[in-house]
């Protein structure tokens, strides 16, 4: 019964997301939707390791930016199409996460966070300075757009934002599915064990490194695919895709929304993407003010809502269910 | 003296000054980590606050304050800012995980940088002092007096800190807390108070670095970001929480950076310092001077 | 000590140094099946170090550890745990944000042979395993008197309750050897008796137990054999009453 309700709820959400662009009157609104969905995917992939195994990879955008570069620089020469490029970037980033993870997970949690951040800085500096390969600050231009082969008609090049939106939705579905299956199964319990006490987890036969790697690689593959999407959507890849401000935004989204909670992370990403757009309608807020407000919100949430905004939802839901739980007191 | 030798010595001196500067930033960061197990991502931004304080004090309308007094004032202001941050943000979450605390300091960093952006715009501000243009020449080697001041000041601060930690009540408590926090709580040392004092000292050191170093650079809202990371790299290389190790690692970083940008490539100098950092992490996970700890 | 029983755990010439300081020097003894052996010694005598060496948390510098005849020296802690040696920690370790029941289930997380794919897909076999595990967890929780708080997060438990929970979790996979590091340390008098009774009952059911304790009196009555460590060396090994009379032991403990 309860499972049935859940499925219906998910189907409703999916249906809503499919219909949504039909309500959008301008490309601007569709772009806002695309950005929102991208931030959801970005944040979910980050939260897999930061929120669940406790490995705060401050260099997470590396997988996004390098994933984008892989699609821009390597995929065309291999003659890969949209999905092929996505898979290539996802695979390459998964592999990069495996190799770097084996090295990075030997060091302490603190060193891991700062070491990965160091890696992000290196990646951006390299992208900026290796003109011959990346074009440096001039960016890698003219990334091919996706071409769809629809039976019956010729190949169609995707240009319209709406169509990009529909290409992005399955990626969101996949990200949610992977996140859900990893964190809600017994693996999720091992994740929690590793995060809460690595030593004790080892004493119970759980090998911490395996689970850290699993979360790290899954997150990297997802975000690598998103980087590939971004490259084929904007058709330009710049060193700014490797910026540290992505890391800051991820931290704001995840820690304001609620680390380790899918609902919280999605909520955080939606608020983060939509709030400035909503503010724009009322008044013109300069970026510096926007960031300042985000910073303050982050500090306030950390101080007063340790589990993020998600804890508010949780409390509200519990109040709704209140009567039911009380009617069924714990017999044992 | 042959010109190659002169250039080499000048690079070394540049490296030492840069190292001294990094060391000053690193000292504070390492102290906080040692005492409060706090990774303070806002440390470089407190340095930035010091830079703007210097800028304001140098441009007071009507009065010209002597530079030493300005330095003292900058230190006092940054120490107070640090104290305020500790009281308002850090203190209430002292018992939460290091992750949450680190994210909170990133929040502070976002707030400070954007506040500076709003108040001062992103235009670099120059903060020349009478010493930054003065150059002394010894056997063809030209050094700016400002650089010499930094070198001398850092060595002095390092020795003073050693003395403070060994001979004062508070200093001894700081050392005790960084060695065994639980035990200190049991014996009745007021750990939160020690953490607060450490935060103020550390912020004051960042202010000192700003007052001494900004005249050679310029003051910008983002001047602290990369610096925080380099200093954190030095803290880790030094063996997390080992103040002396971090101090020497910072000098090493400064020397490597100066020599590399002098002889190989200026554009890639930061790639090298961070590359070196990540590489050393892989080879020696416990840092250059750190010991591997057991359970 | 019945000679016909085979040794489950053999510790042979175990040596461990910390930065030049010898923590363990040539320590050897055997743990026989069904035995309740207590490892005692003054603070800093190397008891916990020995625990950490046997369970893989510390690298051994010399000697070896055999489990059922197999060399397990310097294996990874999780591998040793899965072979059937489970331990508790002196400074109580529970997963603070998990409920009591989840803490129990996490103990058999890896116990069943199953692969990652099967777990991701959540096959029905997994559901079955989960069901049996939950039943066993509740039985054990009932035994230590924690079943009524099974939905409470572990961080809300009292210190004594957490000790009991940790004790119960090591029993979850029905291990061959149970290693308890000062299970009575820091708990109230009543709880000490409670805990000691549990340990004794467990041993009567045939469980092999290695107990670390620095309070000699506590273990005198329940142990079948006692090994005494002092400054990282074994100074006595025998029946409780013999050990109590031993000159070297008295010296180590009382300094005369």
Residue B258 has pLDDT above 60, yes or no: yes
Beta bridge partners of C31: C9
Residues C40 and C138 in one domain: no
Taking each continuous run of H as one helix and of E as one strand, the counts in chain A are 15, 2
Q: Does A138 contact B at CB distance below 8 Å? A: no
3-class DSSP state of C190: helix
> Is the separation of the CB atoms in C226 and C214 below 8 Å?
no
Residue C115 has pLDDT above 60, yes or no: no
Residue A176 token pair: 């949610």
The per-residue pLDDT for A70 is 94
Task: Return the minimum-mean-pLDDT range out of A130-144, B221-235, C186-200.
Answer: C186-200
Distance CA A140, CA A148 (A): 23
Residue B283 token pair: 């080879």
Residues C11 and C87 in one domain: yes
Which residues of chain A are within 8 Å of residue B234 when distances are taken between CB atoms?
none
Which residues of chain B are within 8 Å of residue A126 when distances are taken between CB atoms?
271
Q: Which residue of chain B is at minimal alpha-carbon distance from C48?
A: B295
Residue C139 structural domain: 95-156
Distance CA B233, CA B257 (A): 13
- Rg over alpha carbons for chain C, rounded to the nearest Å, is 19
Distance CA A91, CA C249 (A): 63
| Residue B243: band (very low, low, confident or very high) from pLDDT cuts 50, 70, 90 | confident
| Residue B293: band (very low, low, confident or very high) from pLDDT cuts 50, 70, 90 | very low
| Residue B289: band (very low, low, confident or very high) from pLDDT cuts 50, 70, 90 | low
**Nearest Cα to Cα of residue B55 among B79, B74, B78:** B74
Residue C3 has pLDDT above 60, yes or no: no
Distance CA B106, CA B274 (A): 20
B77 burial (CB, 10 Å; 0-12 / 13-18 / 19+) is buried
Residue A280 has pLDDT above 50, yes or no: yes
The per-residue pLDDT for C110 is 67
What is the end-to-end Cα distance of chain B in Å, rounded?
56
> Is the separation of the CB atoms in A206 and C109 below 8 Å?
yes
Residues C81 and C99 in one domain: no
Q: Chain C: which residues have CB within 8 Å of chain A?
A: 55-57, 76-79, 81-82, 86-87, 89, 93-98, 102, 105-107, 109-111, 116, 119-122, 126, 130, 138, 147-148, 150-151, 169, 173
Distance CA B174, CA B36 (A): 10
Distance CA B89, CA B99 (A): 14
> Is the separation of the CB atoms in A271 and A252 below 8 Å?
no
Task: Return the minimum-mean-pLDDT range out of A112-116, B106-110, B113-117, B129-133.
Answer: B129-133
B164 burial (CB, 10 Å; 0-12 / 13-18 / 19+) is middle
3-class DSSP state of A187: helix
| Residue B189: band (very low, low, confident or very high) from pLDDT cuts 50, 70, 90 | confident
Q: Which residues of C144-176 are buried (b: 16+ CB within 10 A; e: fewer)?
A: bebbebbeebbeebeebbbbbbbbbbbbbbebb
Pick from A201, A205, A214: CB nearest C82: A205
Which residues of chain C are within 8 Å of residue B295 when distances are taken between CB atoms?
52, 57-58
Of C156, C185, C204, the last residue of a domain is: C156
Q: Which residue of chain B is at minimal alpha-carbon distance from A104?
A: B282
Between strands C7-18 and C21-32, the pairing is antiparallel
* Residue C236 counted as domain residue: yes
Pick from B98, B104, B118: CB nearest A110: B98
Residue spans per domain, chain B: 24-223
A303 with B93: Cβ contact below 8 A: yes
Q: Taking all residues of chain A, what is their mean pLDDT, rounded to a whole number?
A: 88
pLDDT in tens, C124-157: 677 777 888 899 999 999 988 889 999 999 988 9
**A198 Cβ neighbours under 8 A, 6+ residues apart:** A208
Residue B112 token pair: 């400070």
Q: Taking all residues of chain B, what is their mean pLDDT, rounded to a whole number?
A: 87
Which residues of chain B are within 8 Å of residue C52 when distances are taken between CB atoms?
294-295
The per-residue pLDDT for C177 is 93
Which residues of chain A are within 8 Å of residue C116 when distances are taken between CB atoms?
187, 214
Residue C61: HSE in the Cβ half-sphere, 13 Å Cα cutoff: 15
| Residue A48: band (very low, low, confident or very high) from pLDDT cuts 50, 70, 90 | very high
* Residue C198 counted as domain residue: yes
* Residue C179 counted as domain residue: yes
Between strands C85-87 and C177-181, the pairing is parallel
Residue B113 token pair: 């940088």
* Residue C197 counted as domain residue: yes
Which residues of chain B are within 8 Å of residue A298 when distances are taken between CB atoms?
103-104, 106-107, 110
Percent of chain C with pLDDT over 70: 91
Residue C113 has pLDDT above 50, yes or no: no
Residue A329 has pLDDT above 60, yes or no: no
Residue that has been written with the tokens 């040596």 in this structure: C15
| Residue C47: band (very low, low, confident or very high) from pLDDT cuts 50, 70, 90 | confident
C-facing residues of A in 75-134 (CB < 8 A) are none
- Backbone conformation region of residue C68, classed left if phi is above 0, alpha if psi is from -120 to 50, else beta: left
Mean local confidence (pLDDT), B173-200: 82
Mean local confidence (pLDDT), B14-28: 92
3-class DSSP state of A194: helix
CB pairs under 8 A between A and B: 113
The per-residue pLDDT for B294 is 35
| Element at C180 (helix H, strand E) | strand C177-181
Pick from C87, C102, C120: CB nearest A181: C120
A114 with B232: Cβ contact below 8 A: yes
Q: Which of A22-26, A246-250, C183-187 has the highest mean pLDDT?
A: A246-250
* Residue C168 counted as domain residue: no
CA angle C5, C40, C216 (to 5 degrees): 110
Q: Which residue of chain C is at minimal alpha-carbon distance from B182?
A: C91
Distance CA C183, CA C92 (A): 9
C-facing residues of A in 165-184 (CB < 8 A) are 181-182
Distance CA B45, CA A167 (A): 41
| Residue B117: band (very low, low, confident or very high) from pLDDT cuts 50, 70, 90 | very high
Which residues of chain A are within 8 Å of residue C107 when distances are taken between CB atoms?
204
C57 with B291: Cβ contact below 8 A: no
Beta bridge partners of B62: none
C52 with B295: Cβ contact below 8 A: yes
User: What DSSP string describes B165-185?
Assistant: HHHSHHHHHHHHHHH-HHHHH
| Residue C169: band (very low, low, confident or very high) from pLDDT cuts 50, 70, 90 | very high
Strand ranges in B208-252 using DSSP code E only, listed in sequence order:
none
Q: Which residue of chain A is at minimal alpha-carbon distance from C54?
A: A203
Q: Which residue of chain A is at minimal alpha-carbon distance from B225?
A: A244
B294 with C52: Cβ contact below 8 A: yes
3-class DSSP state of B99: helix
| Element at C32 (helix H, strand E) | strand C21-32
Task: Return the minimum-mean-pLDDT range out of A138-152, B95-109, B151-165, C240-254.
Answer: C240-254
Residue B43: HSE in the Cβ half-sphere, 13 Å Cα cutoff: 32
> Is the separation of the CB atoms in C167 and C195 below 8 Å?
yes
Residue C254 has pLDDT above 70, yes or no: no
Which residues of chain B are within 8 Å of residue C19 when distances are taken between CB atoms?
291
Mean local confidence (pLDDT), A278-289: 82
Distance CA A248, CA B135 (A): 42
Give chain C's domain count: 2
Residue C228 token pair: 């005494």
Residue that has been written with the tokens 């989204």 in this structure: A253
Residue C89 has pLDDT above 60, yes or no: yes
Mutate to test the interface with C, among A106, A179, A184, A186 (most CBs of C within 10 A): A186
Which residues of chain A are within 8 Å of residue C173 when distances are taken between CB atoms?
205
A203 with C151: Cβ contact below 8 A: no
Residues C83 and C114 in one domain: no
Percent of chain A with pLDDT over 70: 96
- Alpha carbon of A160: minimum distance to chain C alpha carbons (Å): 36
Residue A143 DSSP label: P
Q: Does A240 contact C at CB distance below 8 Å? A: no
> Is the separation of the CB atoms in C14 and C63 below 8 Å?
yes
Give the total residue count for chain B.
Answer: 295
Residues C140 and C196 in one domain: no
Torsion of CA B96, B97, B103, B105, to 10 degrees: 60
Task: Return the minimum-mean-pLDDT range out of B277-291, C83-97, C132-146, C208-222.
Answer: B277-291
The interface predicted TM-score of the complex, written ipTM, equals 0.88
Which residues of chain C are within 8 Å of residue A332 when distances are taken between CB atoms?
138, 147-148, 150
Phi, then psi, of C234 in degrees rounded to 5:
-80, 125
Task: Return the minimum-mean-pLDDT range out of A110-114, A264-268, C212-216.
Answer: C212-216
Q: Taking all residues of chain C, what is their mean pLDDT, rounded to a whole number?
A: 85
The per-residue pLDDT for A326 is 43
Residues C51 and C87 in one domain: yes
Which residues of chain B are within 8 Å of residue C58 when distances are taken between CB atoms?
294-295
Q: Which residues of A257-280 are buried (b: 16+ CB within 10 A; e: fewer)?
A: bbbbbbebbbbbbbbbbeeeeeee
Give Cα separations from B112 to B53, B162, B221, C60 (angstroms): 13, 31, 8, 50
**A89 Cβ neighbours under 8 A, 6+ residues apart:** A67, A68, A70, A71, A75, A224, A225, A227, A228
Q: Which of A200-204, A287-291, B237-241 has the highest mean pLDDT?
A: A200-204
Give Cα separations from B56 to A288, B43, B61, B64, B219 (angstroms): 21, 20, 10, 11, 11
- Alpha carbon of C245: minimum distance to chain A alpha carbons (Å): 36
Which residues of chain C are within 8 Å of residue A186 when distances are taken between CB atoms?
109, 119, 126, 130
The per-residue pLDDT for B292 is 45
Residue B102 has pLDDT above 80, yes or no: yes
The per-residue pLDDT for A328 is 38
Of C107, C128, C156, the last residue of a domain is: C156
* Residue C169 counted as domain residue: no
Residues C13 and C88 in one domain: yes
Phi, then psi, of C21 in degrees rounded to 5:
-90, 130
A111 with B285: Cβ contact below 8 A: yes
Percent of chain B with pLDDT over 70: 96
**Nearest Cα to Cα of residue C147 among C158, C160, C155, C136:** C136
- Alpha carbon of A270: minimum distance to chain C alpha carbons (Å): 27
Residues C120 and C28 in one domain: no
| Residue C109: band (very low, low, confident or very high) from pLDDT cuts 50, 70, 90 | confident
A162 burial (CB, 10 Å; 0-12 / 13-18 / 19+) is middle
Task: Return the minimum-mean-pLDDT range out of B31-35, B227-231, B284-288, C155-159.
Answer: B284-288
Residue B133 has pLDDT above 80, yes or no: no
* Residue C220 counted as domain residue: yes
Give Cα separations from B146 to A219, B18, C206 (angstroms): 48, 12, 78
Torsion of CA A148, A153, A155, A159, to 10 degrees: -60
The per-residue pLDDT for C122 is 59
Q: Chain B: which residues have CB within 8 Å of chain C?
A: 291, 294-295
3-class DSSP state of B72: helix
Which residues of chain C are within 8 Å of residue A187 when distances are taken between CB atoms?
116, 119-120
- Alpha carbon of C52: minimum distance to chain B alpha carbons (Å): 8
A240 burial (CB, 10 Å; 0-12 / 13-18 / 19+) is middle
Distance CA C173, CA C109 (A): 9
User: CB atoms < 10 A from the CB of A149, how many?
Assistant: 9
Distance CA C44, CA A295 (A): 48
Distance CA B177, CA B171 (A): 10
pLDDT in tens, A292-326: 999 999 999 999 988 889 989 888 888 887 654 44
**C179 Cβ neighbours under 8 A, 6+ residues apart:** C51, C54, C55, C85, C86, C87, C88, C209, C210, C211, C212
C58 with B291: Cβ contact below 8 A: no
**C35 Cβ neighbours under 8 A, 6+ residues apart:** C1, C5, C203, C208, C209, C224, C225
A113 with B102: Cβ contact below 8 A: yes
Residue B184 has pLDDT above 80, yes or no: no
The per-residue pLDDT for A67 is 95
Residues C210 and C144 in one domain: no
């Amino acid at each position: 019964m309860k499972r049935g309700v859940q499925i219906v709820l998910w189907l409703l959400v999916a249906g809503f997301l499919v219909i949504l662009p039909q309500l959008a009157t301008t490309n601007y609104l569709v772009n806002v939707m695309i950005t929102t969905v991208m931030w959801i995917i970005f944040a979910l992939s980050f939260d897999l390791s930061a929120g669940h195994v406790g490995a705060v990879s401050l260099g997470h955008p590396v997988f996004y930016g390098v994933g984008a570069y892989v699609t821009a620089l390597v995929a065309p020469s291999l003659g890969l199409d949209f999905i092929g490029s996505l898979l290539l970037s996802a695979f390459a980033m998964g592999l990069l996460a495996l190799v770097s993870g084996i090295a990075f997970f030997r060091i302490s949690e603190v060193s891991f966070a700062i070491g990965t951040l160091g890696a992000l800085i290196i990646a951006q500096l390299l992208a900026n300075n290796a003109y011959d390969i990346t074009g440096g600050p001039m960016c890698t231009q003219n990334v091919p757009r996706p071409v769809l082969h629809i039976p019956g008609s010729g190949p169609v090049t995707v240009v319209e934002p709406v169509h990009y939106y529909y290409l992005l939705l399955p990626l969101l579905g996949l990200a949610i599915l992977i996140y859900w299956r990893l964190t809600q199964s017994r693996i999720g319990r091992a994740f929690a064990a590793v995060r809460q006490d690595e030593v004790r987890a080892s004493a119970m036969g759980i090998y911490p490194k395996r689970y850290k790697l699993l979360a790290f690689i899954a997150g990297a593959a997802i975000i690598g695919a998103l980087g590939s999407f971004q490259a084929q959507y904007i058709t330009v890849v710049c060193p700014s895709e490797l910026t540290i401000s992505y890391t800051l935004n991820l931290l704001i989204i995840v820690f304001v929304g609620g680390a380790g909670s899918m609902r919280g992370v999605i909520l955080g990403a939606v608020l983060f993407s939509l709030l400035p757009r909503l503010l724009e309608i009322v008044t013109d807020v300069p970026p510096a003010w926007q960031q300042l407000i985000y910073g303050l919100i982050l500090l306030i949430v950390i101080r007063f809502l340790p589990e993020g905004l998600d804890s508010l939802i949780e409390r509200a839901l519990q109040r709704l269910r209140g009567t039911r739980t009380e009617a069924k007191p714990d017999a044992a | 003296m042959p010109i190659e030798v002169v250039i080499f010595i000048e690079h070394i001196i540049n490296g030492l000054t840069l190292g001294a500067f990094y060391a000053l930033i690193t000292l504070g960061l390492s102290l906080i980590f040692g005492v409060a197990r706090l990774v303070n991502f806002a440390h470089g931004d407190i340095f930035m606050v010091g830079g703007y304080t210097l800028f304001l004090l140098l441009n007071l309308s009507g009065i010209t304050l002597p530079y030493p007094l300005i330095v003292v004032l900058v230190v006092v202001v940054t120490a107070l800012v640090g104290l305020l941050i500790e009281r308002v943000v850090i203190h209430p979450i002292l018992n939460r995980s290091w992750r949450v605390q680190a994210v909170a300091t990133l929040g502070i960093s976002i707030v400070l940088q954007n506040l500076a952006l709003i108040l001062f715009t992103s235009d670099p501000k120059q903060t020349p002092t009478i010493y930054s243009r003065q150059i002394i020449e010894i056997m063809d080697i030209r050094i700016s007096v400002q650089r010499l001041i930094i070198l001398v000041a850092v060595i002095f601060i390092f020795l003073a800190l050693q003395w403070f930690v060994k001979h004062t009540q508070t200093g001894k408590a700081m050392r005790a807390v960084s060695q065994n926090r639980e035990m200190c709580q049991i014996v009745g040392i007021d750990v939160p108070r020690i953490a607060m004092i450490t935060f103020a000292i550390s912020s004051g050191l960042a202010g000192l670095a700003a007052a001494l170093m900004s005249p050679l650079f310029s003051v910008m809202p983002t001047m602290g970001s990369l610096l925080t990371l380099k200093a954190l790299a030095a803290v880790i290389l030094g063996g997390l929480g080992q103040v002396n190790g971090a101090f020497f690692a910072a000098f090493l970083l400064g020397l490597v950076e100066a020599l590399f940008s002098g002889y190989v490539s200026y554009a890639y100098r930061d790639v090298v310092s961070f590359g070196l950092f990540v590489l050393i992490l892989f080879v020696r996970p416990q840092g250059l001077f750190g010991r591997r700890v057991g359970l | 000590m019945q000679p016909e029983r085979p040794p489950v755990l053999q510790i042979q010439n175990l040596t461990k140094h910390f930065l030049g300081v010898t923590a363990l020097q040539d320590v050897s003894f055997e743990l026989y099946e069904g035995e309740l052996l207590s490892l005692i010694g003054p603070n800093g005598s190397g008891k916990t170090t020995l625990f950490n060496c046997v369970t893989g948390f510390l690298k051994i510098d010399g000697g070896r550890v055999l489990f059922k005849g197999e060399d397990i020296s310097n294996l990874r802690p999780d591998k040793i745990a899965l072979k059937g040696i489970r331990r508790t920690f002196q400074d109580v370790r529970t997963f603070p944000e998990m409920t009591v029941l989840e803490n129990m289930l996490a103990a058999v997380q890896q116990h069943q042979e199953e692969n990652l794919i099967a777990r991701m897909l959540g096959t029905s076999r997994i559901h079955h395993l989960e069901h049996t595990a939950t039943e066993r967890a509740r039985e054990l929780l009932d035994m230590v008197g924690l079943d009524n708080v099974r939905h409470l997060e572990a961080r809300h438990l009292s210190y004594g309750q957490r000790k009991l929970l940790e004790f119960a979790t090591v029993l979850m996979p029905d291990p061959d050897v149970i290693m308890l590091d000062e299970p009575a340390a820091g708990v109230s008098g009543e709880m000490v008796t409670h805990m000691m009774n549990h340990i004794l009952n467990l041993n009567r059911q045939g469980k092999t137990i290695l107990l670390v304790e620095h309070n000699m009196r506590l273990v005198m009555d329940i142990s079948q054999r006692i090994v005494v460590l002092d400054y990282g060396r074994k100074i006595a090994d025998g029946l409780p009453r013999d050990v109590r009379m031993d000159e070297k032991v008295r010296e180590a403990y009382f300094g005369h």
